[in-house]
Each structure stands twice: as structure tokens, then as C-alpha cells.
A and B are shown apart, each in its own frame.
Chain A
């Protein structure tokens, strides 16, 4: 892709961030916004967070590099009066500010927010916080893991004979960042039409609740708190436990062959599986004993379910993951490989669609592919990766324009 127009060309974003704010800036930069990181002298602390990778600049955070390419950087002491005045002048040229609680305290946000609002009433000021604004909860200490817990997702993950277990990724912070990007764009859409800017705050705890899908309704309607499961769990308010992780000859697949709702596609998927099993000589009568995926699915006994699982398990264990997925795609069987990082990197479908784009950063000695082409916009394609800035790389250029009076 070359210099084609992008949807957010001409939109200027100021970013004061650790991880979550950087993700918000990432989404906006991908869509074509000019994202300027406002950093302390020497760079923001998140540049050095673990795990790091070695580059020509020393050890740099992998997450920082993944979410900050293609942005600009100015350095500014935001706590000084002079720095605040400079920030306010920058706000006159900006449309959106994004920030998060791991980078700024609430007091800093309030101080910057007030200056920003005075300087530019049309500005959108987006904050990512553990619980949001407006009550004593805004001061509670939190981290991604404690928010995975408070949002109700942690309780539902893991084997029953061990404590609940988190997703080993900062999912709350990243989803908070993506949520802030979309919320900031909603507010910017409003500002564009009316000239009215505003603050928008995002709660990571609420973002986590939005990953539960039906748990809060299951409690209200059935008085049911679902129990966690590892490879085996009770899915979607079923009355029985189903196996969802199956060992193959060389890895694992996700598969819910019977039970769990889903309608016609599940019924056809199971028929295709049984056909394949029959071809291989698996013809145990249990395979067709029940209406496994139709209306009868809600009344299956655990005993029957366990019996059919044992038969299917021995069939799957003899196949490779690749073999299973190939036939699954051909015959519409609803299974999927449980991909490791390498599996994601090599995924044939992602490769065919061009999800991965090259990030060439010769100054760092870094050349990698990133999953940066996450949407296709027919008239305004996403931006391709460009190197991430050194701290203050654009200070002179951005403020030189300012002194000339040509602010954007």
C-alpha cells in the first residue's frame, strides 16, 4: 500500500500512555490519525517494561514496540508550569487526547484536562481507568489481573482442582485501549458535528464484563453461577459438562461436537464428524443414540455425554491437527486448532488475507511482521507499520511549525 488516503487523515491525537493508552493510539494511528506521544525527557517508563527485546537502542519492551510504531514523539515536563502551557498550545492543534492510569495520576489528568479544555473546547479527552471516573472507586489500586478478577472473567477460567486462572495476556488493558479508541471516535464524531468536545472515561472492569457474554443474565434468570472448567466445562448454561479441548496426535483442538446450543450449523457439523468416523470404522451406537444438538440437547444425561466423548476422543487422538482442520474446512465441522504464538504467526488464512505487514526499522536493527492489517476499508486502507519514534524525535519539528504559526 502506498500513500493512499486514510480515514483519519488530518486528525491529530496526543497520547500520554503506558500500555492501554498506547493501544488506543495504535488503533487511531492504523486508521490514519497523526499520533504524537507526549513523553518525559528520556522517554515514558513503558518503553522499558518486560519482556524486552534487544535492539540497537538497548533493551526495549516488546509490547511498547508492537503498539507504538508509526507514531511521533515530543518530550515535555507536564508537571512544570511551562510544560503545561506548551501542552495547552499543542491541544489547540489536536482533536483527541488519550491517556491511562498507569501513566498519569488522576491529579495529573485533571490538571492536563482542564488546560486542554480551556485551550480547545472541541477537544476529546479520553481516559482509561480501572473503574472509571466519578466516585471513590476512581482511586482504588488495580492491575490487569485484579481487573480480570473483578470483571468476573477470572472466576470462570481453569481446572476445578486448582484456583481460577487468568489469561496470561494483559487483556483488560488492551481491550480498554481498543474501547477507548472507539469511544474517542464517537465523541470526535459528535465534536465534528457540533463543536462540542468532552471527556470520555473507560472502565477496564466494565470491558472485562463485556467478555462474559451471558453470565450476568444466567444469574438473573436461572440463579446460576457457572463453574469454571479447563478442558471440560459447563457451557452456556447446559446441565452437563462437555469436553471442549481435545488432544490430537500433535497438539490440541477446540471442539464442541455435541451440546452447547448453536442450531443448524452444529447439527451439520456433528453429522459430518460421524460420517468421517464411520469411514474410519468408528460406529458405536452411542454416536447416534441421542438428538445431540437439536431440541433434545438440553435433556442429555451426563453418563451418555461421557460415553460419546470417549468414542470421539479416541478418533481425534489418532489425527493430526492439520488433518483435522483440512477436513473440517471442507465439510464444515466446527473445530479449530488451539494456536500457539507460532501457530498464529503461520496461520494460512491470516497469510492469505495479508493480516501481517512488515515493520522495517533499520535504525533499531528490527525487522518483523505485525498483525497490523486488522480491517479492510475499501476507500481508506489502514496504515502500514513504520518505525516507532525515539523519545522526543519530533519535538523540534512539531514546535518549529508552532513558532511559525502554522500549527497543523
Chain B
């Protein structure tokens, strides 16, 4: 093993040092939540099998553009600092391994379609019977009950149902698909807050509980104001292209080069004055402003298109004007703010080499997060966990393997 297995099993630093997590989550929303635990010192054991690997292991980008179970950068980014074991959960005897893992754990996390954990005898009531103070996190797309509970789906359906998709794009066109799968990125923040509240409650009272949420419902928090306004006034707010009420100037403007764009917003008169001064032609821009948003946006676009996007952003920053280059992924890897903030963590993986993983969006002043090691290959830590955490000897592990349980 490329990492020191003893320290991987028992991290001594970080907010969650000593916290033990049995992690059955898969895809994006669940693993992004448990990554916040592992990157802050928790011992997170991810359970998969070769029959049913995490599906995002099958999603690209793949190293060398060749699909493979241990080759997905998509999977890797969400699994830093986690241990990976392979247990065939479809074998009824798997409970012989999982039961002691539940006894060991403080937290069991899962993001299956409702019913899967129960089928394995691992629903909350069963877990509680094994470990009375367990905290269970269940995150599913639609939630554990209701008419759509067992309907399969991904975050892309989630962002459509949560209203985020319809709020993206131009009013005169069909809604544009927001990149990604918005419920997969919004819901982990809510899941984690609820899970932490449950852990805090347990710390104070000793009582465990089941935290259950729907990723789509958590994502509707983004539209809480629009839902309130709709009921209070009857007005149904929808996508507005690049316009925004209340700002003097708000838009996405072309710059020099291929697909180079900059977002600029002037909220105050002072920002407007500073912006027109740095572009030069203040009179023409003032006239255009008087003529309305179409004229204003055309005049600003005309002025920005000869600028280098990054030079214009730097000038805006000096002048106190909010401006942001529409960064491409390649720009993010070179972003000076991210570099200064150490956002990316280079981690070495035996099959994938060294890649830069995304670190968290928060910084603790006293208890820094630490992406300790790269994502696990499928089953990479099976033996280490079986011996180091569950206390089995080599002969016992060989016997489990003989019976087909560890694969």
C-alpha cells in the first residue's frame, strides 16, 4: 500500500479525528457529504463490490481516455481520504462482515434508492438494534417515501424538479441545462448540516437518530424567495438571461480571444462611474445607459471586446468594480486566487498518477482540513480494514475470501 495504513485507519488530527463512518453512499451527493468527514480526520470506510461498484467509477473522464474501474477522475475527486473495501452485499452472509462494522461505526451513511438498505437488513431500526447510538444519514433523490420514492434518477432530474433548470437561460428560449447536476452539489451542504446537528445532539445526550433527506427537496431552498413571492403576489419569476433587477449594469460581455467572456456588475453609482472611467468613452456609455439595457449592453460589449479578459478584470479590481472572467476549467487550475488559497490538492494514485483534487470551500483557522490520500482503488483497503478495524487474522480473511464475500 502506498500509504501508511495505520495512520489511514486512525487519523489523529482534524475536527473529526476519531469519528468512525461506514459509508455506503454512491454517485455524487452522498460521497461529497462524506468527503467533508474524511478530509477532516474521520475514518471513512466506503463499501462497494466488484458486482456493484459505485456507478461514477464508470463515468468519465478516464485516465488516458480508457474506461476502467480505477480510472475515473469523476470518482476520484469525491473520495479523497476514504478507505475502500469490497464486500459482496448480494451475498446474505455479508452481514457477518457488515455487522461488526456497524458496531464499530458512529455514523452509517447511504444514498441508495429507498428499500435497498432494508433488503440487506440495514434499515435504521436494524442498525439501531446492533448499535443503539448510531447516527444514520440517508440521502436519496426523491426521499424515502411518497409516490416517487423508488423512481430512479440522477441529479440532472433533481435540478429540473427543484426549479433550478427552468431558472437558467434566456426568456425567449427553452431553459438551458445548467452544467452538472445541481441537486448533487446543493444537497450535501444540507445533509451535512443535519448530520452534524444529529452528532452534536448525540454528543450532548447520547441519543442517536436517523437523518433522512431528499436531494431535490434540499435543493428547493434555492427558490424559497421565489416560492414566497409567487404566493404573496401571484408573480412567477423565471429565467432572465443576463439581466438583473436592481443593478445599474449586469451582463456577460465578450473579450479578446476565443470564447472569452467577462461578467460585470455595477450595483452602485460609484462602481458605474469607476467602470466607465476605465473603459474610456464615458459620455457614450452614459448616453447608452439613458437609452435602456439593450443599448447599454451593446455599448459595453463594443468597449470590452478589444480587452484581454484577465487584464480587464484586474483593472476592474483596482477600481473596485465587481468583475469575473467566465473561467474555463483550465483557468481554474491556473487561477491566482485558488493558488494563493491552496484550493487544489495534488494527490498520488497508483493507477491514475498525481491529480489535483478539489479541496473544501471553508478554512478552519485552528483545525485545518487535510486531504490525506487519493481515492481508493476498488477493494484497496479490504485487508487493512478487515484486520486493522475488524480484528480478523489472515486465516479468517482468507476464509471470507474463499466464500466469495470479499469481492
Q: Which of B339-363 contact A (CB under 8 A)?
A: 340-341, 343-344, 355-356, 358-363
Task: Across the interface, name the chain B residue whose C-beta is closest to A231.
Answer: B174
- Complex: A369 Cα to B223 Cα, angstroms: 12
B36 lies within 8 A of A228 (CB): no
A209 lies within 8 A of B343 (CB): yes
- Complex: A179 Cα to B74 Cα, angstroms: 22
A150 lies within 8 A of B324 (CB): yes
A406 part of interface (Cβ distance < 8 Å): no
Contact of A349 among B142, B174, B341, B358 (CB under 8 A): B142
B73 lies within 8 A of A214 (CB): yes
Residues of A within 8 A of B244 (CB): 145, 168
B186 lies within 8 A of A178 (CB): yes
A200 lies within 8 A of B363 (CB): yes
- Complex: A216 Cα to B52 Cα, angstroms: 26
CB-CB contacts of A204-229 with B at 8 A, as 1s and 0s? 11110111111111111110111111
B21 part of interface (Cβ distance < 8 Å): no
Interchain nearest-CB distance for A203 vs B (Å): 5
Residues of A within 8 A of B222 (CB): 169, 171, 174-175
Binds B, one of A247-255, A306-314, A397-405: A247-255
- Complex: A342 Cα to B223 Cα, angstroms: 11
B220 part of interface (Cβ distance < 8 Å): yes
B236 lies within 8 A of A342 (CB): yes
Interface size on A, residues (CB 8 A): 160
A374 lies within 8 A of B220 (CB): yes
- Complex: A332 Cα to B63 Cα, angstroms: 32
A3 part of interface (Cβ distance < 8 Å): no
B179 lies within 8 A of A226 (CB): yes
Task: Across the interface, name the chain B residue whose C-beta is closest to A230.
Answer: B176
B180 lies within 8 A of A377 (CB): no
Task: Across the interface, name the chain B residue whose C-beta is closest to A162.
Answer: B170
Contact of B224 among A167, A371, A376 (CB under 8 A): A371
- Complex: A355 Cα to B316 Cα, angstroms: 43
- Complex: A329 Cα to B355 Cα, angstroms: 39
Contact of B212 among A189, A336, A375 (CB under 8 A): A375
Query: Taking each of B32, B214, B228, which has the highest tally of chain A beta carbons within 10 Å of its own beta carbon?
Result: B228
Residues of B within 8 A of A166 (CB): 168, 242, 252, 263
Residues of A within 8 A of B335 (CB): 150
- Complex: A145 Cα to B242 Cα, angstroms: 9
Residues of B within 8 A of A132 (CB): 341, 363
A178 lies within 8 A of B221 (CB): yes
Q: Which of A182-211 contact B (CB under 8 A)?
A: 182-183, 185-190, 192-193, 196, 198-207, 209-211
Binds A, one of B4-12, B198-206, B393-401: B198-206
Given A141-B320, A151-B327: A209 and B358 within 8 A (CB)?
yes
A285 part of interface (Cβ distance < 8 Å): no
Residues of B within 8 A of A104 (CB): none
Given A215-B179, A335-B157: A340 and B163 within 8 A (CB)?
yes
Interchain nearest-CB distance for A244 vs B (Å): 5
Binds B, one of A60-68, A75-83, A274-282: A60-68
Task: Across the interface, name the chain A residue whose C-beta is closest to B271.
Answer: A141
Task: Across the interface, name the chain B residue whose C-beta is closest to A345.
Answer: B227
A221 lies within 8 A of B200 (CB): no
A217 lies within 8 A of B223 (CB): no
- Complex: A236 Cα to B253 Cα, angstroms: 27
Given A225-B330, A336-B161: A164 and B261 within 8 A (CB)?
yes
A8 lies within 8 A of B190 (CB): no
CB-CB contacts of B149-169 with A at 8 A, as 1s and 0s? 101111011111111111111
Given A66-B228, A244-B156, A353-B214: A182 and B174 within 8 A (CB)?
no
Interchain nearest-CB distance for B201 vs A (Å): 4
A187 lies within 8 A of B197 (CB): no
Binds A, one of B87-95, B96-104, B280-288, B364-372: B364-372
Interchain nearest-CB distance for B232 vs A (Å): 4
B161 lies within 8 A of A179 (CB): no
Q: Which of B213-240 contact A (CB under 8 A)?
A: 213-214, 216-218, 220-233, 235-240
A258 part of interface (Cβ distance < 8 Å): no
Residues of B within 8 A of A369 (CB): 227, 231
A391 part of interface (Cβ distance < 8 Å): no
Residues of B within 8 A of A219 (CB): 328-330, 332-333
Residues of A within 8 A of B344 (CB): 216
Given A65-B228, A339-B160: A188 and B200 within 8 A (CB)?
yes
29 A-B pairs whose Cβ atoms sit less than 8 Å apart in the complex: A53-B228, A53-B233, A66-B224, A145-B324, A149-B263, A154-B263, A165-B169, A179-B362, A189-B199, A190-B15, A198-B367, A200-B362, A206-B359, A212-B179, A213-B181, A216-B333, A217-B77, A230-B174, A237-B60, A254-B156, A261-B60, A334-B152, A336-B161, A340-B166, A341-B166, A350-B220, A368-B232, A371-B217, A378-B210
New A-B pairs, 7, CB < 8 Å, besides A179-B361, A224-B329, A341-B227: A141-B320, A167-B167, A179-B362, A185-B196, A186-B16, A198-B365, A236-B60
